[in-house]
């Protein structure tokens, strides 16, 4: 059966016009050369997903990480998707118009709208901001509908939807206690300089209408004491976490509505498909090369 199938394919190829034959030949070689890198790409990314442990935002180290949590809008203000008017953190919306050419229909894109707002992943221990512009987004919600001659497609990650993320984790540290104290002290002194009457009222101890060095030092000490009280003993510097594109291009930057297990299964399927394409296109390329040499 396989032998008769191969004979049929060979007969089909032999009967092709020379120009068409060359086109098929080139296409088979391109598929042969392109399928292997794709296959190893999916294998490598699938292995990275499996080998990277899920971290908590509160305790994660800087570097390449895996996070899981709920998608949250920054500031508690979700986006409204343009097609379905749903609360979401990200959307990609497209409207196409049907065009008829003879007996065939084609679709021409007339509207494209993709959100570029950052959003959070919230795992309960903290939040981490994600810039979607450089990430490979894999939304689970994909809706398509038609109206007259128009076709609309909307991809979405909804507010509070569970998401799985891989990327470079970076933390921006807020100012230290000493820096905040110094800035607060200086702000109070600047305010006093602009309000001479209040400065004299509080610190002109000898009543001569002027502030000498000793009186100014007392004003400085009072401002510092007030600043220290305002900052308090339990001040903790603010931290802002970000998930970015990894510095090493071999590592992926993925934000997905699908969990790790489903993604790795898909990547395994894609890698198997790539290798099947490799073997089939290789067989076709060899067969066509032999036919060409035989001619």
Half-sphere exposure of 87 (CA within 13 A, CB side): 10
Name residue 98's beta-bridge partners: 107
Cα angle: 46, vertex 49, 54; to 5 degrees: 165
Residue 147: predicted pLDDT = 86
Burial class (CB in 10 A: 0-12, 13-18, 19+), 76: exposed
Global pTM reads: 0.69
CA distance 225 to 207: 24
CA distance 92 to 138: 11
Q: What is the chain's length? A: 295
CA distances from 79 to 85, 90, 136, 211, 286 (A): 9, 7, 20, 56, 53
CA distance 29 to 57: 47
CA distance 269 to 283: 21
- Residue 136 carries which DSSP code? E
- Residue 60 carries which DSSP code? P
Are 175 and 87 a contacting pair, CB within 8 Å?
A: no
CA distance 32 to 294: 22
Residue 122: predicted pLDDT = 95
pLDDT (tens digit, 0 to 9) for every residue of the chain, 295 residues total? 556 666 666 766 666 677 777 787 788 888 888 888 888 888 888 888 888 999 999 888 899 999 999 999 998 889 999 999 999 999 999 999 998 877 788 889 999 999 999 999 999 999 999 999 889 999 999 999 998 899 999 999 999 999 999 999 999 876 667 777 787 888 888 887 888 888 778 877 877 778 888 778 787 888 888 877 877 766 666 778 999 999 888 899 999 999 888 888 888 888 888 888 888 888 888 887 887 777 5
- Which tokens belong to 41? 């790409």
Residue 129: predicted pLDDT = 95
3-class state of residue 131 by DSSP: coil
Residue 4: predicted pLDDT = 63
CA distances from 157 to 49, 76, 238, 253 (A): 21, 15, 28, 16
Name residue 146's beta-bridge partners: 151
Residue 236: predicted pLDDT = 65
């Amino acid at each position: 059966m396989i032998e008769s199938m191969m004979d049929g394919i060979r007969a089909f190829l032999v009967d092709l016009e020379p120009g068409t034959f060359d086109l098929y030949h080139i296409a088979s070689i391109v598929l042969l050369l392109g399928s292997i890198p794709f296959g190893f790409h999916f294998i490598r990314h699938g292995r990275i997903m499996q080998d990277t442990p899920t971290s908590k935002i509160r305790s994660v180290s800087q570097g390449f990480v895996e996070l899981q949590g709920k998608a949250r809008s920054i500031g508690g203000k979700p986006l409204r998707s343009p097609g379905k008017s749903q609360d979401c953190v990200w959307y990609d919306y497209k409207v196409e118009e049907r065009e008829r050419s003879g007996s065939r229909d084609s679709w021409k894109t007339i509207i494209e709208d993709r959100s570029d707002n950052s959003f959070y992943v919230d795992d309960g221990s903290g939040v981490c901001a994600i810039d979607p512009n450089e990430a490979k987004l894999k939304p689970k919600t994909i809706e398509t509908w038609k109206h007259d001659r128009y076709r609309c497609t909307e991809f979405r990650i909804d507010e509070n939807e569970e998401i799985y993320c891989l990327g470079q984790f970076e933390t921006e540290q807020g100012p230290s206690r000493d820096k905040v104290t110094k800035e607060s002290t200086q702000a109070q002194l600047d305010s006093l300089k602009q309000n001479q009457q209040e400065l004299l009222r509080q610190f002109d101890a000898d009543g001569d209408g002027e502030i000498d060095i000793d009186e100014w030092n007392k004003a400085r000490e009072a401002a510092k004491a007030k600043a220290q009280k305002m900052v308090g003993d339990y001040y903790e510097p603010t931290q802002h976490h970000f998930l970015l594109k990894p510095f090493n291009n071999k590592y992926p930057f993925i934000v997905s509505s699908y969990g790790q297990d489903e993604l790795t299964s898909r990547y395994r399927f894609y890698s198997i498909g790539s290798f099947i394409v490799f073997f089939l296109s290789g067989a076709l390329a060899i067969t066509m090369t032999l036919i060409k040499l035989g001619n």
